[in-house]
Amino acid sequence: MFSNYLIGLREGLEASLVVCILIAYLVKTGNKDKLGPLWLGVGLAAALSLAFGAGLEFGTSELTFQAQEAIGGSLSIISVGLVTWMVFWMKRTARHLKSELQGKLDAALAMGTGALVTTAFLAVGREGLETSLFVWRSVHAAGDGAGPLIGVLLGIATAIVLGWLFYRGALSINLAKFFKWTGGMLVVVAAGVLAYGVHDLQEADFLPGLNSRAFDVSGTIPPDSWYGTLLKGTFNFQPDPTVLQLTVWALYLVPVLALFLYAGKAPAAPQKAAVGAESQK
C-alpha cells in the first residue's frame, strides 16, 4: 500500500499544484468569471484519465494469458520511461512551474474560453494519463487485493487536501526538496515495476531466461508472509527473481537514482509554495 500511496501523493500533488496555480492566477488578475472553463478543462482531464485506466484494466481481461503478459510487460517498461522522464522534468522545473503556467494562462485568456479549457485540460491531462498508466502497472505488480488501490486513493485524497491548504495559504513546503525525495523513492518503485515488466515478458516468451533464477529466498521470506507481502507491496520485491530481472533492476536503479539525487547539485535558496497568499493580494 505504501508504494502506491506514494505514487498517488506524488502524482496527485503535482496535479493539485497545477490547478491551484491556475486558479490563484485567475483570481489575482480579476478573472474569476473564467473559473468555470478552467474547471471544465480539469474535469475533462480527470474523466479522460479515469477512462484510460478503465480501458487498461478491462480492455485486456479477455485476452489470452500470453497476450496479457506481453501487453502488461510492454506497458510496464513504457510507464517506467514516462515516470523517469517526469521526475527529472519536475526536478528541473519545480522552481519555475508557476511562471511557466502563468505564461500559458495569459496566452489562453487572450485567445478566449476554448483556449482556457484546452490549457487546463492539457496541464492536468498529462499528469493524469501518466498516473493512470503507472498506477495500473504498480497495482498489478504489488499483487491482488484492495490494498494497493486503497493506497493510491488515499495518496490522491491527501494530495487534494494539501493542494487546498496551499491555496488557502495555510501550508507551505519546500517544493524542490519534496519533489527530490519523493522522486527518489519513486525511482525505487519504478525499478520494481520494471523488473515486474521484464518477468511478464519472460512469461510471454518474448524474453529468455524465465527458469534461470538469480537466487531464491522463498524459504526465508515467504511471499504470503506479512513481511513478504510488505516488501512486495513497498518495493515490488520478489524472493526468486530471474537473472535478467535482477540485472535490469540494478542497471536501472543504481545509475538513475545516483543521477537524480546528485547530478547538477548547486546551492540555492529554498523556495516555498505560497500560492494561496498570492491569490489574496
Greatest mean pLDDT among 65-69, 149-153, 220-224, 276-280 lies in: 65-69
In a domain, 276, yes or no: no
What does DSSP assign to residue 218?
A: T
Query: What's the confidence (pLDDT) of residue 201?
Result: 94
| 275 within domain boundaries | no
Q: Does any domain span residue 221? A: yes
What pTM, to 2 d.p., does this model score? 0.72
Look at residue 39 and tell me if it is in a domain: yes
Integer CA distances (angstroms), 209 to 45, 54, 212, 264, in order: 41, 32, 5, 38
> Which structural domain range is residue 235 located in?
2-263
Q: Is the pLDDT score of 245 beyond 90?
A: yes
For residue 1, what pLDDT is reported?
Answer: 62
Q: How far apart are CA 236 and CA 143, in angstroms?
A: 9
- 85 CB-contact burial (10 Å; exposed 0-12 / middle 13-18 / buried 19+): exposed
- How much is the average pLDDT of 250-279? 68
Name the band, by pLDDT with cuts 50, 70 and 90, for residue 277. very low
The answer to whether residue 281 is domain-embedded is no
> Is 244 a member of any domain?
yes
Domain count, the chain: 1
Q: Tell me, yes or no, whether 268 lies in a domain.
A: no
Q: What pLDDT is attached to residue 273?
A: 46
Q: Distance between terminal CA atoms of the chain?
A: 40
Write the CB contacts of 174 (distance below 8 Å, at least 6 apart in sequence). Answer: 270, 271, 272
Mean pLDDT to the nearest integer, 137-150: 68
Q: Residue 272 gets which letter from DSSP?
A: B
Residue 195 near residue 249 (C-beta atoms within 8 A): yes
The kind and range of the H/E element at 19 are helix 2-28
pLDDT exceeds cutoff 50 at 193: yes
Question: Side-chain half-sphere of 42: how many Cα atoms within 13 Å?
Answer: 16
Q: CA-to-CA distance for 109 and 120, rounded, in angstroms?
A: 11
Give dist(CA 2, CA 25) in Å, integer: 34
272 pairs with which residues across the strands?
A: 174
Report which of residues 67 and 236 the model is more confident about: 67
Amino acid at 268: A
